[in-house]
Chains A and B, each alone.
Chain A
Amino acid sequence: MAITVKIPTQLRDAAGGAASLQADGETVGEALESVFAGHPELRDRLYQGGDLRRFVNVYLSGEDIRFLDGLQTAVPAGAELTILPAVAGG
């Protein structure tokens, strides 16, 4: 089963207007690469120097991947990845 990647409103213009995309891969990094293959502009928006930009947060089933293994985190089939901008709290 494919992986679902949820796209925030700020990125949808670079994803053909989609609110979510299907992806494949064993890890978060691979899943994102499979998304970039169809929507290359997303890579520039999310990555800087081969890593996620510092204000980009990625969650695997609600957990920040920085608490897991980052881009190397294993992604089970059918899982959901959520991309969100980092926003300060209060």
Chain B
Amino acid sequence: MAATQLICRECATEYPLEARYVCSKCFGPLEVFYEHEPVTDVGSLRRRIQSGPQNIWRYHDFLPLEGPQPRTPTGLAAGCTPLVRADRLAERLGLGEVWVKNDAANPTHSFKDRVVSVAVTRARELGFDTLACASTGNLANSVAAHGAALGMDSYVLIPADLEEQKQLATAIYGTNLVKVRGNYDDVNRLCTELSGDRENWAFVNINMRPYYAEGSKTVAFEIAEQLGWELPDRCVVPIASGSLFTKIAKGFAEWIDVGLIDGEIPTMNGSQALGCSPVATAFEQDKDVCRPVKPDTIAKSLAIGNPADGPYALDLARSTGGSIDSVSDQEIRDGIRLLAETTGIFTETAGGVTTAVLAKLAGRGDIGSDERVVLVITGDGLKTLDAVRDSFHAYEVDASIESFEAAFAGQGVGA
């Protein structure tokens, strides 16, 4: 594989490609480092990617796995989700060109299938037999499903107050679902402690984290490929831990470096819910670290009060001329509805955050009329039905023409 080692992002200490996520010298996070062969024939590499499977393994050369490209039937086929041109949304917001990357169209209906597929495949290479995770919900769905697909035991730890839909869509796969009395940061702390004692467990977002996080790059690869090997000018992406946000940029950067695409990393706009906005607050206050918060928002999948990749997300937003903004719970609901009404895509609360931030950027005049903007939608609206409950009027009628006509009297419907 092109991956050669793990490197500490803080002090650059190197480690072998094993189940290790933190630098033992400075506690900094470890990241996979690659040495790619120079690409001499770009057209040939592009054709090889295009002839690959319709899932993330078409980008196998850029993922941290030793073995050959995994055969999709042994797992879940994540990725290759639609990139939809959203002219009606663009028109509503007064923008020129908007695309929606609809990652709700993954096997368990969120982008987490990308990261879990990579983490689980690497975990199997390293000899693990049990999967585990700390989750705000989407990861829980994906880890439980991957465990079922691959015949591996799994332990999924979630905050006890998580949305019912996300609990049901996890438990159904036959996992060990553990509801922790506390918030996500409590769950994460417990799992970090557990991971030190459970050496045969692959915690996908803890001891497998360097591999897991690489899976998010495939969002960038797909966007570039779907735009005809071109870069967008701007990406609007949700931020919980900050990992997806930073890895999308890393994906673009790797492809620019090897010569698969030309240009610069897009302007990166991060999106948070006001009720859990440690990164947006640090951005606004011009700080380079995030002060943890206690989350209080309907966007539970983004409710990480102590975002470990926050400092890197701040660096990225600043270096690309972007920003990190936050929106209220009402703006989130409005965002869900705006996206649904203009694109036919029903997103969960995290997508409401992202859409609302796009609207905010447009309203503020941050986005040029000639810009090509990609809105990254990470999960399905069916996961967070409570966010939209009771927000619509429905007509109730008797099964008669008269009753139907009466309900719509004066509206001229159907004429």
Interface on A for B, CB 8 Å cutoff? 6, 8-11, 13, 45-46, 48, 53-57, 59, 62, 64, 66-67, 82, 84-90
Besides the known contacts A89-B304, A90-B205, 19 further A-B residue pairs in the complex with CB atoms under 8 A apart: A8-B192, A8-B193, A9-B196, A10-B22, A53-B10, A55-B27, A56-B27, A57-B189, A64-B185, A64-B306, A82-B189, A86-B29, A87-B209, A88-B213, A88-B242, A89-B308, A90-B135, A90-B139, A90-B241
B323 at the interface (CB under 8 A from A): no
**Does B346 count as interface, using CB distance less than 8 angstroms?**
no
Q: How far is the CA of A67 from the CA of B24 in the complex (A)?
A: 25
Partner of B28, one of A11, A55, A64, A89: A55
* Contact A87 B205, beta carbon cutoff 8 Å: yes
Binds A, one of B288-296, B325-333, B369-377: B288-296
Binary A-proximity of B287-321 (CB < 8 A = 1, otherwise 0): 00101101000000000101111010000000000
A contact residues around B213 at 8 Å (CB): 88
Are the CB atoms of B309 and A10 closer together than 8 Å? no
Could you tell me if B243 and A88 are in contact, using CB atoms closer than 8 angstroms?
Answer: yes
By a CB distance below 8 angstroms, the chain B residues around A6 are 193
A41 to chain B, nearest CB (A): 10
Instruction: Say whether B307 contacts A67, CB under 8 Å.
Output: no
Q: Is the CB of B307 within 8 A of A88?
A: yes
Q: Which residues of A contact B21 (CB under 8 A)?
A: 85, 87
A90 and B136 contact, CB distance less than 8 A: yes
Determine if A84 and B189 form an interchain contact, defined as CB atoms under 8 angstroms apart. yes
What are 11 sample pairs from A and B whose C-beta atoms fall under 8 A apart? A10-B24, A48-B26, A53-B10, A53-B26, A55-B29, A56-B27, A86-B308, A87-B205, A87-B209, A88-B307, A89-B136
B10 touches A55 (CB 8 A): yes
Neighbouring A residues of B204 by C-beta, 8 Å: 90
CB interface residues, B 1-39, toward A, < 8 Å: 10, 21-22, 24-29
